Structure 1
Amino acid sequence: MATSTSPPSTKPTILHLGDDIRWNHELYAELGRKFNIIRTYSMGRDEFKAALREKRWGDFVGMYRPFWNTGGEMGDWDEELIALLPPSLKIFTSAGAGYDWVNTQALARHGTIYCNSAAACTESVADAAILLLLSCYRAIPWSFSAARSCSATEFTHASQNIASVSHNPLGQTLGIVGLGRIGARIAEKATRGFGMRVWYYDVVRMREREEGLGVVWCESLGALLGGCDGLVLAAPFSGEVVLGRGEFEVMKRGLRLVNVARGKLVDEEALVEALDSGVVSAAGLDVHANEPHVDPRLARRDNVMVLSHTAGASVESHVGFERLGMENLLGWAEKGVEGCVSAVNLQWLERG
């Protein structure tokens, strides 16, 4: 689709990346009153870079990507791409909780605030985490695959033997890595809904949040891994593996692992070894290290539930992604940095 060019306007310009707005039309109209909105629709990386070099859209101050599966066709937002953005760009708001595809530090050095939309998918991701956790405890993948096989032999085998490996989560200790909005909501559901004890590890201790939730902080990841029966990864990916061979070696034997964060947080070779040895008794994986490819050594196991990176996928999440991105832009227009409700890179931003 052909891109539009900016008409003469006294309003600051923002680029709307990707598809049309679907739900929050009144808020989008308000955005149009504050900004001159230019659409890029869908374009590949090379075309996007060429457009930036030729300054096709002028000196725009913001970018808005309301959906995670459109408007991102230009690939990773790395230093090569960020260097082509105009100095006028001050804010980039995007759908989704994760931001491993964008170099937020490089954006900060460029003078650009990056805002994600994690708050909008908190409920959906937390629900999926509980689903995966229950799948691990109750051997749901085995039961499901046996029934789906339509084999009387497999059905009978599962029906007669699953009880020996199935457990209730009541009274078990759940470890959570990352006590942000999503981690905190998982903790609420696990304690209030299933009677689990919750421990957590995060790079920063959150005393007020832990007291409100009644959870226990662990000073190190190793302390968490050595004491919990179930583990949920709910932390952003910062470029480093969180669970490698060393971490699997200190885990409590029989731990059940759930990952609703990013696949690259886990060394999948080490996870396969841990499953083979029984260090990990079951796993629930919404995310994978080499998406969209799933490791068949994990997918084919009866004690591993695999999803297609859909933990946050719901209509409610998408409505919220749209809305939160616009709220960040409107807040920035009114109050600057203080008006941004979900900025993630302010610690690196040089403020003049």
Structure 2
Amino acid sequence: MSTPTPADAGLPPPPTLPSITAATSIPISSGPKPIILHLGDDIRWNHEPYAELASKFQIERSYSLGKEEFKKALREKKWGDFVGMYRPFWNTGGEMGNWDLELISLLPKSCKIYASAGAGFDWVDTKTMAEHGIIYCNSAPACTESVADAAIVLILSTFRAFVWSFLAARSCSPDQFSDANRNIAAVTHNPNEAILGIIGLGKIGYRIAQKASTAFEMKIWYHDLVRFPEREKEVGAKWCESLEELLAKADCVLLATPYAGEVLLSTPQFQMFKPGARIVNIARGRLIDEDALVEALESGQISAAGLDVHANEPVVNPKLAQRENVMVLSHTAGASVESHIGFERLGIENLISFMEGRGAITPVNLQWLKKDDDAREDA
């Protein structure tokens, strides 16, 4: 059975994604087609763009391989001297595990770009990849809308105790239903005029700010390594130079920042929270010390949490999952048909744009990229 197209499924066409041209690119030369290594499953939606890719490149397929098999194939140059890699789905083509120095060092020197589905990239050492002359491109713009919508649900759940109400109704117990029905109003609040403190005002954080400020009249504060004056103006946001300033005043803290290898919020940070504040995480689970979060919830320092992501996925901390004031999801904030369509297409667009000399569209590691003509000779 063939996979339906967006039109077949009654879906609108994917939104136009922004083009952000990177400075580094390698134009396609005349002669044999350069090779692209396609990781994982077949294309499902973007058949015409994929046909364009195939007209410009020789596409080799790895399908699904374990890490040792994949490493062996690279050593044997099974796919030749490919110039780029394409991973259209976040849940396939990653069977070889984390992309660490051991794996990256086996890639051919010809490889200059890796375009992958998904917004997060904690599974790939993007710094080491850049040091080997490879640009890594994620697909965050494609799932921004889906993640932002899920974030709003989680934010509302922390203010309105929807988990408590849901579990009481689902229990089919008249006593639990009556308890929730009678008592929830005394401990819940509308989010209007509350301060939403966003850690990371990138594309996703900014879209959440737009939705929260417009639909729920929330006040937006944010902390980031860089300041965004135009975004501040658009949503009336206040920039907090220090994380401590944001934590002390926010009624709800939202994590929308990449995982850089270290826990961001643990006991010292939770003690800085405004008493009774809430926390929502749609970024990466390992940004939060979950044991410290449990303690903060038990003490009442944090009144509620909404967690799409978890520190030890696919295992969810039962001390969090079993609480009536914590909504937990299965890392599905960005999961939608529209996101998958965009992941596929943006990866193709990154490869074609880069190889035709216009630059990668969504690079994340240019700050570490070597600038010499053959950045991999001394790697």
What runs of 5+ residues in structure 1 fail to find an aligned partner? Answer: 1-8
What's 2:224 paired with?
A: 202
Q: Is 1:125 aligned to 2:134, yes or no? A: no
Q: Is 1:31 aligned to 2:59, yes or no? A: no
Q: CA deviation at 1:231?
A: 1.0
In structure 2, distance between residues paired with 1:111 and 1:34: 22
In structure 2, distance between residues paired with 1:132 and 1:212: 23
Give the TM-score of the pair, scaled to structure 1.
0.96
Q: Is 1:293 aligned to 2:276, yes or no? A: no
**Local SS of the residue matching 1:339:** coil
Code of the aligned partner of 1:88: S
What's 1:3 paired with?
A: none
1:76-155 paired onto structure 2 within 5 Å:
76-155=98-177
Q: Is 1:350 aligned to 2:363, yes or no? A: no
Which runs of structure 1 show a deviation greater than 4 angstroms over 4 or more consecutive aligned residues?
none
Q: CA deviation at 1:213?
A: 2.2
Q: Is 1:256 aligned to 2:256, yes or no? A: no
In structure 1, distance between residues paired with 2:190 and 2:235: 22
In structure 2, distance between residues paired with 1:333 and 1:84: 22
Q: Deviations over 1:15-45 (max 9, x none)?
A: 0000000011000000011110001111111
Code of the aligned partner of 1:119: P
Code of the aligned partner of 2:244: G
In structure 2, distance between residues paired with 1:319 and 1:214: 32
Amino-acid identity (%): 66
1:59-78 paired onto structure 2 within 5 Å:
59-78=81-100
Correspondence for 2:183 among 161, 178, 192: 161
> Which moved further from structure 2: 171-180 or 202-211?
202-211
In structure 2, distance between residues paired with 1:110 and 1:22: 31
Which one has more relative contact order, counting CA pairs under 8 Å at least 6 apart?
2
Q: CA deviation at 1:161?
A: 0.6
Q: Deviations over 1:278-300 (max 9, x none)?
A: 11100000000000000000000
Q: CA deviation at 1:100?
A: 0.1
**Local SS of the residue matching 2:204:** helix
Q: CA deviation at 1:212?
A: 2.2
Q: Deviations over 1:248-267 (max 9, x none)?
A: 01110111100000000000
Q: CA deviation at 1:206?
A: 1.4
In structure 2, distance between residues paired with 1:164 and 1:231: 22
Code of the aligned partner of 2:180: A
Q: CA deviation at 1:112?
A: 0.2
Q: Deviations over 1:146-169 (max 9, x none)?
A: 111111111111111111111100
In structure 2, distance between residues paired with 1:83 and 1:165: 55
In structure 1, distance between residues paired with 2:322 and 2:146: 26
Q: Deviations over 1:151-196 (max 9, x none)?
A: 1111111111111111100010110000000000000001000011
**Local SS of the residue matching 1:28:** helix
In structure 2, distance between residues paired with 1:35 and 1:277: 58
**Local SS of the residue matching 1:325:** helix
Correspondence for 2:72 among 36, 50, 53: 50
In structure 1, distance between residues paired with 2:310 and 2:165: 23
What runs of 5+ residues in structure 2 fail to find an aligned partner? Answer: 1-30, 373-379
What's 2:265 paired with?
A: 243
What's 2:251 paired with?
A: 229
**Local SS of the residue matching 2:335:** coil
Correspondence for 1:310 among 332, 357, 361: 332
Correspondence for 1:339 among 333, 352, 359: 359
Give the TM-score of the pair, scaled to structure 2.
0.89
In structure 1, distance between residues paired with 2:55 and 2:237: 45
What's 1:170 paired with?
A: 192
Q: CA deviation at 1:208?
A: 2.1
Code of the aligned partner of 2:241: E
In structure 1, distance between residues paired with 2:43 and 2:236: 40
**Local SS of the residue matching 1:127:** helix
In structure 2, distance between residues paired with 1:351 and 1:324: 25
Structure with greater helix percent:
1
Code of the aligned partner of 1:39: R
Aligned-residue Cα RMSD (Å) equals 0.8
Count of residues in Structure 1 that have an aligned counterpart in Structure 2: 342
